[in-house]
Amino acid sequence: MIIKKGEGCCSPEPGSRIRGFIQPWILLLLSEKPSHGYELLERLHSGSPETPMDTALLYRTLRQMEADGMVRSGWETGGNGPARRLYEMTGEGVGCLHAWTMNLRRTRERLDEFIAVYEERFGDGGRS
């Protein structure tokens, strides 16, 4: 259930997403194997079908990450369909992924703290 505009009191809130979460996800997926944008979209979608990824955000983020040195790309022609830009992670990208994950662990701690305080006050509503 994603809360949309005008649906409720927290309508401006698009589901409490984590800022910049797409970048570590891209790095994590690329750490498994090199991939192109459209394939990353599908891999991200299969991981969380309820929150489809925006193509504009993905492609722009990839270009930015390349400018920042986290990934590098090259055109891959010869397959069927249009040419695809194949991305792979750089050594710097690996370091980024580790640093980002440390940040995300702290984010999870803050989130856990919130939920703990909430449940202490209101109960866990049947959740374990």
Partner DNA sequence: TCCGCTATATGTCATACTCATATAGTAAAC
Partner DNA sequence: GTTTACTATATGAGTATGACATATAGCGGA
Residue 108 binds what, of DNA, its own copies, none (CB under 5 to 8 Å, by partner type)? its own copies
Distances in Å between the Cα of 11 and the Cα atoms of 20, 49, 73, 100 are: 21, 21, 38, 29
**Comparison of 111 and 124: residue with beta carbon closer to DNA:** 111
Question: For residues 36 and 72, which CB has a smaller minimum distance to DNA in the complex?
Answer: 36
Q: How many Cα atoms occupy the beta-carbon half-sphere of 25 within 13 Å?
A: 18
Q: How far is the CB of 52 from DNA (least distance, A)?
A: 9
Rounded-to-integer distance, Cα 29 and Cα 101, Å: 13
Residue 84 binding result from DNA, its own copies, none, given CB thresholds of 5 to 8 Å by partner type: DNA
Residue 31 or 107: the one with the smaller Cβ distance to DNA is 107
Identity of the residue, 7 or 76, whose beta carbon is nearer to its own copies in the bound complex: 7
CB of 94 to DNA, least distance (A): 20
Token pair recorded at residue 112: 């856990």
Site pattern 80..109 for its own copies (x: CB under 8 A) = ------------xx-xxxxxxxxxxxxxx-
The CB-of-42 to its own copies minimum distance in angstroms stands at 16
19: its two tokens? 């800022």
Q: How far apart are CA 75 and CA 41, in angstroms?
A: 18
Beta-strand pair 71-76/35-36: unpaired
